[in-house]
Every structure is written in structure tokens, then in C-alpha cells.
């Protein structure tokens, strides 16, 4: 008996219509529905034909893992993240939503969002994993992009700090030379007055640059701390 109270058996027009509706809906999007066993290879029991629209591979390649498995599409860098998310949801008997990258038949990387859940027997045994996978630029994509920007910014600011350290060493050397020059100018008396003025100006510039450079170093470190908290 269906949801409307009509009796039906396998292969009835009502079921055929429902299957037709599912295929029609999934056929209009870059995504697919799947069911797979909870075995070592996650053997695919069913995948809508629309899987070919997203991946470039026909559903016949996946059913029974005839040619390839669904997990084989996942980018290696994302495999652990996806598995941890799914296993955590299964343990809690909750639905999962996870964003990750897949590699298509054309070797193109595509971001997808998977929404799925486990189908359990009355005795609590996990029978199937079922879900919907659609192409999307999701939260995980933004997170990874942010992490890459953070790494790039950190590398850049580390370089700045290194350059600042070199400048500070140069400034200290100039300060020492300026001090020595003033000493020698004092010994030279009147003939060394002009040189003393130049040495004093070098010392002033060195002091001003030292303050500015230290402030730059402080500001860069503040930026690094802020980025690390994001």
C-alpha cells in the first residue's frame, strides 16, 4: 500500500511513475542519488543515471563496483575528512552533510556536497548508506581557500620580519659607526666639526629608522596573531 492508501506490488504503474519522477528530477541537476552496502568496499547497489552528468562515468561503472567505486572519485586530500564525518554521523545515527572534491572522467576537480544517512535494520545493524551528491561551491571549499590564504599571508609576513631583522642589524652597525665618527671628530677639533655634523645626522636617521622598523615588526606580529585566530 502506497502513501495514498493504494495497494501496489513491485513493478506497478505507481512505482514506475515514482521512479520516473526521481530520474526526471535528478536528470535536471549535476548530481545523483546512491545506495551502497556497508562493506569493506562500499559496494554500490544503486546510482541514478545522472551520475554520468556529474562525474562523466555511467552508472553501470559503479553498480556492484563493476569498474570503480564511489570513494575512488574523492580527492585523496579529502578522503580522511569525508570518512571521519560520515563515521561520526553513523555512530550517532544522524544525517551527514559534507563538502569535498571529486575528480571527474575529464580530470576536472569539482566541489560537491553530499547529504546522506544510514539505513539500519530493526536489530540495529547498519545495512546501507544512502545519499544525494550535488555539485556545489560549499563551506568546505571556502574553509580550504581561507587556509591557503592564511598560509600564503604567514609566509609573506615571515619574510617581512626577516627583512626587518636585517634592517635592524644594519641600523645598529650605522649607530656604532656614527658614534665612532663623533669620537674621531671631537679629537680632530675644529677641522672635524663638519664631519661631526654628518655623523650626528646619520645617528638621528638611524634612530628614527630603528623606531619605524620595530613598529613594523610589531604590527606584522599583531596581524599574524589575528590571522591565527580566524
Hey, where are the domains in the chain? 13-137, 142-229
Q: Which residues pair with 133 in a beta bridge?
A: 32, 114
Average pLDDT over residues 133-153: 71
Quote the pLDDT of residue 118. 94
Superfamily grouping for domain 142-229: Methyl-accepting chemotaxis protein (1.10.287.950)
User: Does an H or E element contain 56, and which?
Assistant: none
Indicate the average pLDDT of the chain.
Answer: 77
Q: Tell me the whole-structure pTM to 2 decimals.
A: 0.55
Quote the pLDDT of residue 67. 96
Give me Rg for the CA atoms of the chain: 33
Pick the CATH number of 13-137 from 3.40.50.1260, 2.60.40.1120, 3.30.70.3340, 3.30.450.20: 3.30.450.20
pLDDT digits (tens, 9 = 90+) for 173-226: 666 666 666 666 666 666 555 666 666 666 666 676 667 667 766 766 776 666
Quote the pLDDT of residue 5. 38
Quote the pLDDT of residue 47. 92
Local confidence band at 136 (pLDDT 50, 70, 90 cut-offs) = confident
Output the CA torsion sign for 47, 49, 53, 56.
Answer: positive
| pLDDT over 90 percentage in the chain | 37
Q: Which residues pair with 110 in a beta bridge?
A: 102
Quote the pLDDT of residue 129. 95
Closest CA to 37 of 126, 114, 109: 126
Quote the pLDDT of residue 151. 72
Amino acid at each position: 500500500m502506497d502513501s495514498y492508501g493504494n495497494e501496489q506490488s513491485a513493478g506497478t504503474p505507481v512505482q514506475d511513475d515514482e521512479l520516473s519522477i526521481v530520474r526526471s528530477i535528478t536528470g535536471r541537476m549535476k548530481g545523483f542519488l546512491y545506495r551502497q552496502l556497508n562493506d569493506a568496499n562500499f559496494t554500490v547497489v544503486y546510482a541514478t543515471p545522472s551520475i554520468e552528468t556529474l562525474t562523466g562515468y555511467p552508472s553501470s561503472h559503479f553498480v556492484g563496483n563493476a569498474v570503480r567505486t564511489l570513494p575512488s572519485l574523492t580527492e585523496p586530500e579529502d578522503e580522511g575528512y569525508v570518512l571521519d564525518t560520515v563515521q561520526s554521523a553513523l555512530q550517532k545515527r544522524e544525517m551527514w552533510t559534507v563538502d569535498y572534491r571529486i575528480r571527474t572522467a575529464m580530470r576536472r576537480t569539482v566541489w560537491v556536497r553530499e547529504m546522506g544517512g544510514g539505513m539500519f535494520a530493526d536489530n540495529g545493524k547498519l545495512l546501507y548508506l544512502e545519499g544525494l551528491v550535488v555539485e556545489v561551491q560549499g563551506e568546505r571549499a571556502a574553509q580550504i581557500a581561507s587556509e591557503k590564504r592564511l598560509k600564503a599571508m604567514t609566509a609573506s609576513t615571515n619574510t617581512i620580519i626577516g627583512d626587518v631583522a636585517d634592517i635592524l642589524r644594519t641600523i645598529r652597525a650605522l649607530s656604532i659607526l656614527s658614534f665612532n665618527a663623533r669620537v674621531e671628530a671631537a679629537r680632530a677639533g675644529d677641522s672635524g666639526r663638519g664631519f661631526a655634523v654628518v655623523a650626528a645626522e646619520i645617528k638621528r636617521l638611524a634612530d628614527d629608522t630603528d623606531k619605524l622598523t620595530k613598529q613594523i615588526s610589531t604590527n606584522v606580529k599583531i596581524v599574524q596573531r589575528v590571522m591565527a585566530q580566524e
